[in-house]
Copies of this chain bind each other. A is one copy, B any other.
Amino acid sequence: MTAHASHSEHEIADVDAYMVRLGEQARAAAGRMRRVDTAAKNAALLAMAAHLDQARGEVLAANAKDLERGRAGGLDAALLDRLALDDARLDAMIEGLHQVAALPDPVGEIDGLRSRPSGIQVGQMRVPLGVIGIIYESRPNVTMEAASLCLKSGNAAVLRGGSEARESNAAIAACIRAGLERAGLPEGAVQVVATTDRAAVGRLIDMPEYVDVIIPRGGKSLIERISRDASVPVIKHLDGVCHVYLDATADPDKALAIAVNAKTQRYGTCNTMETLLVDAPVAESLLPRLAEAYAAHGVELRGCERTRTILPDIAVATEADWAAEYLAPVLALRVVDGIDAAMAHIERYSSRHTDAIVTEHYGLARRFLAEVDSSSVMVNASTRFADGFEYGLGAEIGISTDRLHVRGPVGLEGLTTRKYVVLGDGQIRR
């Protein structure tokens, strides 16, 4: 009897041996997936969508078991909401599979092919990374998203979801396997880890012979722990302490619209603004209008001393506020003297996720774009645009705040690497 990722947990006594088996199967599948054509990958994605559509009953029943166990175990409302599936969320998962199938295949794309004096032509071809391990928390729809992006980019994936979602993930994994089988792709192309034993995570991040890169998705403490312990390279997203700077030349209406949208369009996302910087000459005109708008949204304001001379009723912002990722209807406000002071604040406190300037001054816009060292830098746009769909990547597996390999939203391209290709007619080196 061979090992299947579908094995229920009680069958997996030796987690170490189980993970090595998944690793071997993934490595073997990666060699095959590298060569699979676009049509076969798309066929697998569409077959997964069809299977998920047919298996709605099973998936929702499995999810109900997870929810029941979660409620009994005292999971909080936010976690239960992330865990819950319904027909609308299944529709979105199915639609997501169709969208990824419709995206261009990055594999095989050759950039910059040019002739050299020796007579050879040199270019760079996109190829899959190999085996990608993804570690995530309770949202079961991530299972299908991660599977689809890894598959379309020609990689093999090993997916390890949170234990809260184990029944849901097993049901989704069955649809993934059925889709792979229907398209004639190896089962090892996407494997869902079937044990909730935490030792499985420790093994997954420590087998560079089988896994080429780890992408953790979840809270900061999970990601820090994985980055510290992994011997496999990690593509990670830590926190999002994002800034908007309203320059003195900003169009007041744009300034107001962007500052309100960046904070209030959603509170819990990493691209939400956490600190608003206001240029001193416009503080008196803008701050009262901003305070009124934020009050209407129920946003609590915390300001520097200069802010509080204009808005005396708000709380004082402390050092901790400048560094805070609130993920909540709370905003820190600071009055600054010009772009240099604004950029100095950003240099010190930004998590280098996304920072924006609102200005009508060409030179300042140009300076802000060049000098602010964040994964996304914006002029006259809301920080909430920093995501893969809005940027046109089609989909994203996360947002990288690393510097190496990929930075910002990670789509199919971020899941590939490039090799040099050289075309000659018998050239030799002199």
Contact = CB atoms under 8 A, between A and B. Distances in A.
A375 interface: yes
Q: Which of A124, A251, A260, A405 has the most CB of B within 10 A?
A: A405
Interface in A251-280: 251, 253-254, 257-258, 260-262, 265
A429 interface: yes
Interface majority SS (helix, strand, loop, mixed), chain A: mixed
Contacts of A212: 403-404
Contact of A425 (B108, B254, B262, B373): B254
Contacts of A377: 125, 419-422
A288 to B, nearest CB: 20
B253 A426 contact: yes
B424 A408 contact: no
A114 interface: yes
A409 B420 contact: yes
B125 A380 contact: no
A72 B116 CA distance: 45
A118 interface: yes
Interface in A396-419: 403-405, 407-409, 417-419
A129 interface: yes
A339 to B, nearest CB: 13
A314 interface: no
Contacts of A92: none
Given A122-B392, A405-B404, A376 B423 contact: no
B384 A429 contact: yes
Q: How many copies of this kind of chain does the complex include?
A: 2
A233 B404 contact: yes
Contacts of A254: 425-426
Contacts of A213: 403-404
Contacts of A405: 404-405
Contacts of A347: 31
A221 interface: no
A81 interface: no
A370 interface: yes
Contacts of A47: none
A293 interface: no
A120 interface: yes
Given A370-B108, A378-B421, A120 B426 contact: no
B129 A403 contact: yes
A421 B374 CA distance: 9
Given A370-B108, A380-B426, A428-B257, A420 B404 contact: no
A408 B112 CA distance: 15
A376 B258 contact: no
A378 B422 contact: yes
A382 B347 CA distance: 48
Contacts of A428: 257-258, 260-262, 265, 381-382, 384
Interface string A236-250: 000000000000000
Contacts of A373: 34, 127, 419
A371 interface: yes
Contacts of A116: 390-392
Given A120-B381, A253-B426, A390-B429, A369 B261 contact: no
15 contacts: A34-B371, A118-B390, A120-B381, A129-B404, A212-B403, A261-B429, A358-B426, A376-B421, A376-B422, A379-B424, A380-B427, A381-B423, A386-B422, A407-B420, A408-B419
Interface of A: 31, 34-35, 108, 114, 116, 118, 120, 122, 124-125, 127, 129-130, 212-213, 233, 235, 251, 253-254, 257-258, 260-262, 265, 347, 356, 358, 369-371, 373-382, 384-386, 390-392, 403-405, 407-409, 417-429
